[in-house]
Structure 1
Amino acid sequence: MRKFDWRFDMGASAQTVNKVNKVQMGDGYVQRPKAKINNKLTNWSGTKTGDLETVINPILNFLDSQQGMPFLWVNPWGEECKYTCEEYSTTQRRGNLWQISLKFEQTI
């Protein structure tokens, strides 16, 4: 499995999702069993800023080659996990300085 070797800029954010199967009963009672064994996932969003040719284009090439398929990445907490990245956007900051915004979803 390929590894995403870049770090996010300072200010990355984590969103933890606990997946449950909600079953609503007619009397207002709700059952909430865990959706699966690994039901706690942490998704990340952040940015990376740098030179278009040496920083941003290699990231774009990596993500384009993955086409939404899983890869390994060491998150800001130092944990290596599997993630996918289906959404990303680039913004020119000034001259040849660009920023890429990334959304990583943890997968099992």
Structure 2
Amino acid sequence: MTDTFTWPTQARNTGTETGSVRESRFGGGYRQVVANGINPLARSWPIRWSGPKDTALAIRDFLRAHIGVPFYWTAPGDTQQLYTCVTWSPNDEGGNVYTITATFEQFNSP
């Protein structure tokens, strides 16, 4: 069973969507472009979470346990999809407050 990242992230994150295409160029400046594959769209989201240390450690442990293992996450304004995360940064803000920043990349399975 696939796990779900359920912690709320901070607002104002900006995602990136990148299309994959195949292109052929012909004489006279003509070219042909078509979508590459059945899912030619890749999405990535930088996320940020701030809160108490115990929750930050739970998020960190979740990300550690999912290195190379896709998990479900719902991007802002989208539906739940599979994502992976290979880089994150925990930051001690002082007191009991921690911040975690990470980048979630959409996982398209064959």
TM bin, normalised by shorter chain, reads 0.7 to 0.9
TM-score, normalised by the number of residues in structure 2: 0.84
TM-score, normalised by the number of residues in structure 1: 0.85
* Unmatched runs of 5 consecutive residues or more in structure 2: none
Query: Structure 1 residue 98 and structure 2 residue 98: aligned?
Result: yes
Q: Tell me if structure 2 keeps the 8 A contact 1:11–1:46.
A: no
Rounded to whole Å, the distance in 1 between the matches of 2:23 and 2:69 is 28
Aligned partner of residue 68 in structure 1, secondary structure: coil
Aligned to 1:13: 14
AA at the equivalent of 2:85: C
Aligned to 2:50: 49
Aligned to 2:4: 3
Aligned to 1:69: 69
Which moved further from structure 2: 71-80 or 16-25?
16-25
- Equivalent pairs counted in the alignment come to 107
Runs of 4+ in 1 over 4 A off after TM superposition: 22-31
Aligned partner of residue 81 in structure 2, secondary structure: strand
Aligned partner of residue 34 in structure 2, secondary structure: coil
The CA RMSD over aligned residues, in Å, is 1.9
> What is the aligned-residue identity percentage?
27
